[in-house]
Amino acid sequence: MTAKRVALVTGASTGIGRSVAETLARNGYVAFAGMRDPDGRNRAARDEVAGLSTAGIPIEAVALDVTDDASVAAAVATVMEKTGKIDVLLNNAGGCLMGLAECGSVELLQRLLDTHVVGTQRVCRAVLPHMRRRRTGVLAFTSSVGGRVVIPTTTLYCAAKAGMEMIAEGYKRELASFGIDVVILEPGMVHTKIFDNMWLDDDTARAAEYGALGGVARATLEMVKTMKGPPPEELADVLLRLLEMPHGQRPLRTTFGADAALADPVNAAADEATRALNALYGA
């Protein structure tokens, strides 16, 4: 078993996931950058990670598709075989959908939920038995300010992120006795390539029935492509600071960016309601 802490990051071919994996690898971790199809569509990302490893940075790409049981099981088995443990799991894989709620097909919503919600659960169930046996670990989630409030023209995406948030919040209480902390990152605008790979609502006939409103999503997408949020490396540093905090002192939710900070009052009110409900039900 390696003496260094070990981190597994899903959705780490680019953007936030890639930045987190590299940041952790440069700061005392052995990092595994999970990505779909590293021998195909993400070959370039795999090769970049391999280059870092050749330069002495302890990072390795691992094939991991959160929507596939066998892929998740194989990735976790690979990490365990090579290191004997997983100290940190960051559930980061995802996709973003823009459009009116009614105009997103059921199939598109299922795709979102299978990545953000079902996929998250799939990976957690594969990793948590190892963490619980060692009675230590940090379960982290990349959510969004949209997991707390609905961002215009991203209703279905926000619903998926909210589902992830509820899973994470439930895990925090249930895993406390095993020495496992849970943290949720809630970024606002971050400067990544996410808007180049944005999903758009796919029922254009219904969108047309909304008149001018039906075209808002596409206009908004073009607008946000020109916006410059902070780089993902800054969010990676935020997670690193959370991981360096003592066990039990890490906050459940951490917003990132001025836009995301608008959700801080929502989080504070939710924390108070959660404490009251737990007291009411004797939890």
Question: In the chain, how many H helices and how many E strands?
Answer: 10, 9
Q: What is the pLDDT of residue 137?
A: 98
| Active-site residue, from 157, 171, 210, 281 | 157
Q: What is the pLDDT of residue 196?
A: 66
Q: What is the pLDDT of residue 283?
A: 62
* Residue 210 is among the residues annotated as catalytic for this protein: no
Half-sphere exposure of 142 (CA within 13 A, CB side): 29
Distances (CA, A) of 137 to 31, 89, 172, 214: 14, 8, 12, 45
Q: What is the pLDDT of residue 199?
A: 79
Distance CA 118, CA 8 (A): 18
The one-letter amino acid code at 187 reads P
The series of mean pLDDT values per 10 residues for the chain, 283 residues long, is 92 95 97 96 95 97 98 98 98 91 93 96 98 98 95 92 97 96 94 71 89 80 71 95 96 94 94 91 75
Q: Are 199 and 252 in contact (CB under 8 A)?
A: no
Q: What is the pLDDT of residue 42?
A: 94
Distance CA 234, CA 253 (A): 16
Q: What is the pLDDT of residue 194?
A: 67
Q: Residue 159, SS3?
A: helix
Whose tokens are 């039990």? That residue is: 248
Q: Residue 253, SS3?
A: strand
Q: Are 136 and 89 in contact (CB under 8 A)?
A: no
